[in-house]
Structure 1
């Protein structure tokens, strides 16, 4: 589907991911494969330890060979929008970044090639998400979108 541009997923085990990031620098959570604007990809989030300000939650994606690779434009040249959704009332916060199209993570995937992943520069402070109620029952609701 070339029209679908958004997927939603729930990050489970937020406390554990946060702890792992504190102990090992990072912990990634991947959702299942989806097609967004024709690109086959796995979106996700990365919990990354910062030297000065706790753990940061950043957006991720990894491209995969897909059924529409001959139809979509390469390299991928879409802006990524990552939103966290408040469980009560649906308020959202977002981060937006246009990936660098010259990087391997935007290139057409090839057989046998090591998979590269995009990690956003903008982030959500993990402590803020917990404090402001975005994490409930150890889960975080996320929307991942490709903008034109």
Structure 2
């Protein structure tokens, strides 16, 4: 089954944090793993031409926070970084091993980075326009 759709993703404050608006609609195969489970389930349940809203619980989105992806590093590992501050993002590794981490805390003991997806632990609200559904 293939879906073609536009979407608007809102955070808990109602702000749009991601959208296909202004670009091409997404065209994805069922089971591709490129969208969260809860959104795929909603697409399966609707018909081409439907416009709908779906609230995807975190368990069917990016899941709960994984504490093992939150790590403290010594300050010395960031000596080359100018104006290190909370919220900065870095890519670690290369190719298949590449990972984006976010600085979440800095103190005299070190720097805590979080490699969880930015939307982990959150329920996600999507507005969807299902353009076509084939197969």
The interval holding the TM-score normalised by the smaller chain is: under 0.3
Tell me which structure has the larger Cα radius of gyration. Answer: 2
Structure with the greater relative contact order (CA < 8 A, sep ≥ 6): 1 or 2? 2
TM-score by length of 1: 0.22
TM-score by length of 2: 0.24
